[in-house]
Structure 1
Amino acid sequence: MKLELQNIGGFAGVHEFELKKGINRITAPNAKGKSSLLRGIQCLASDNEDVFRDTLNDDSDAGHVKLGDEYIRHLRRVNGAVQADPKDHTFFDELDKDWRNAEKIAFFTPKSRVVLEIDQNAFDVLRFVNSISGAEEIESDIRRKEAQLEEKKRELEEYIENLTTAQKLDAEVGAMRGEIQKLQGEVQELEGEIKKETGTRDLTKVGEDIAAKKQEILDLEERLRSREGEVRRYQDQYEKARALYDRLNKDIADFEQRPETGSIEEFTERLHKHERKRKDLKTVKDMLDDLQGVVDKAYKVFSDSERALPESAKENQVLNSAYMMLGNPGECPVCGGDVIREALDERRKELHERSTDLAKMMRGEEEEMKVIKADRRELQDRVEGINSKRRERDKAKRDSNDLLKELDDRG
């Protein structure tokens, strides 16, 4: 794939480089453009104006970086500031969101945030992983949704309690209506008796009874109107509770659309990837350790001090013959060729260094696996918390529907 640079860093004019598939090694003396070439590639993965300013040649007002036929970034100096053409297509414009983190994890320049934090002994691996994986955004959204769910739950419980009170008042209103009808029947009976017995009963007493009954009717009607007003108020509160439930249900539905399961699967896939890498490192290290043992044994056999035969053993023909098969110190007992002790020392040192490097890499993979496991466990706990909230919501819905049915039956 061809990389074309025009007025980039220390390169003036157009320069072309051929990049091969896989790993490309860039070698050159100092001040020959290695950093300029890397800044050009970084420019394709960034939207940072500071990167643009450091990339464009100081003596040029325009330049570009082009990789193959697909990716290009045009830079232009306008009023002292370096700007990029928004119509360009770069790594940063790829639909895959992971490309937007390419600059953070692939370009560790002296000005990058990771390098600066490491220099200041302030680098936090967990915070860095969260920032590029989107875990911080998920965590913030989960906390906000949990707080909203708790608030909505409290409001719904309050309205359900008010609805229960309204149900009791409705029962009292029904009883009062029955008493009013009973009193009205008694008044009608008294009025009929007056017409029949105008001469045989004390009309004053009858009138007093009628007046008393009518007053009782008025009192009950007043109480009825008061109770009916309370019922209407509680019915209004129920309507508000129902509207609140609908909003709460919508909030939960919106939350359920977030791909939490996909995030957990992504953490699991990353964990498996690091486990496989650690397994490969261990396999290679075990092979080096085995080779180290072989070299140590050869070193012992070829050592002058280890090859000395005790004087008492020289008189034994069998021992002396076996010793002769080992050859002289510094000779290989198999082929008789020279064995350079310095070469064995160098090989032992090299094997030890490689084994140490592999051990460090294995520890690094283990630390990364711990971080990923912790993130995955925390996300799983929060998903389970949301599921618990859903069960509480469903129970509240059933209770609300039961209360509404009882209120309708009494109405």
Structure 2
Amino acid sequence: MSSNQHFVVIGGGLGGAKLAEALRANDFDGQVTLLAAEDELPYERPPLSKQHLAGTEQLPDFTVDPAAWYRDHHIDLRLGTTATAFDVAAKTVTLPDGSTLAYDKLALATGSRARTLNIPGADASNVYTLRTIGDSDALLEVLGPDRRLVIIGGGWIGLEVAAQARARDMAVTIVEAAQLPLLTVLGPEMGAVFAELHREHGVDLRISTEVELILTDDGVATGVQLGDGTVVPAEVVLVAVGAQPNIEEAVAAGLATDSGVLVDAALRTSDADVVAVGDIAEQQHPLLDRRVRVEHWATALNQPAVAAQTMLGKPAAYDRLPYFFSDQYDLGMEYTGYVGRGDDARVVVRGDVAGREFVAFWLDPQNRVRAGMNVNVWDVTDRIKELILSGEPVDPERLGDTDQKL
């Protein structure tokens, strides 16, 4: 492509950094501007609730590229800067100071922000969320023995932080509105596995429980009041009730949106010169034959290569199966595939659930494998992918028999 062209990437997380990498890897020699809202170089987020909280990795360990890479590859990286708006008709991006950038192609990699609670006390000084390195650093300073942590929300972030806090001998209470943690993601059978895991490690897990308010004293949270009036004392409160995709500018620009920015298989939005990747991309998936939006690391890592091809006018399609992982105490897991909320799926387990060394499969009514989760069983992800991609029915009894090869 002509060196006169200007490609702008809004979003300085993993997705934005990988898009800049992919453009240069595809020999695009035009101008690339990468707008990053945070002051830090683009970094990966999974360690924020895992290795960084464990104290085993620092920010440089999970920074995508050093500053020299952006300089050497002539990427105009603008830290602490993001777009306030963009205009698809004029093909301009507006910056906080009111100036504009003209673009030929635009990529949206704006990611998500932590959801907050609209309840009294939620703005207290010791009420935290976890989305940025600053959030993780702040939590690191307050996790420790002789303190009580209340986590509102039993999703992945809440459970991973609970595990790190218990490793520091901190008293932990998780308050979850659903009947089990991870219920909407994994269903009741596997949600029960994680509930038992945390209870075994001393977590006070309160399910089917609503939070009424956060009690405060002079702007400092002292506890969480539950729906039944019960008060759980706390020196630290973490709100972990999910993420909110940053799509407001896309909506204002008139792009087609739903829960995210609607994109086709090539990650192209409703405007031919704009692509979207990562948390915000609600993609028509060519293999799953449905729209999916996946808020996980692998999506931000892998979608940019396809988006770059699309920006360069080359045929491309993102057809990787969704994938994510988690580490909690001595449990490590990987999940491959996709089962939507409300899908009619049964779970077949292969291995020892009580010993937490098993593979769980989600089967549709035709006994086709839609997803698989390996727990403390490794080197089976490729086999799980093959079963999903084959589209062929399986024998549930054979699938659950460890004497039968996958």
Bigger strand share: 2
Q: TM-score range by the shorter chain?
A: under 0.3
Larger radius of gyration: 1
Q: TM-score, normalised by structure 1?
A: 0.19
Q: TM-score, normalised by structure 2?
A: 0.19
Bigger helix share: 1
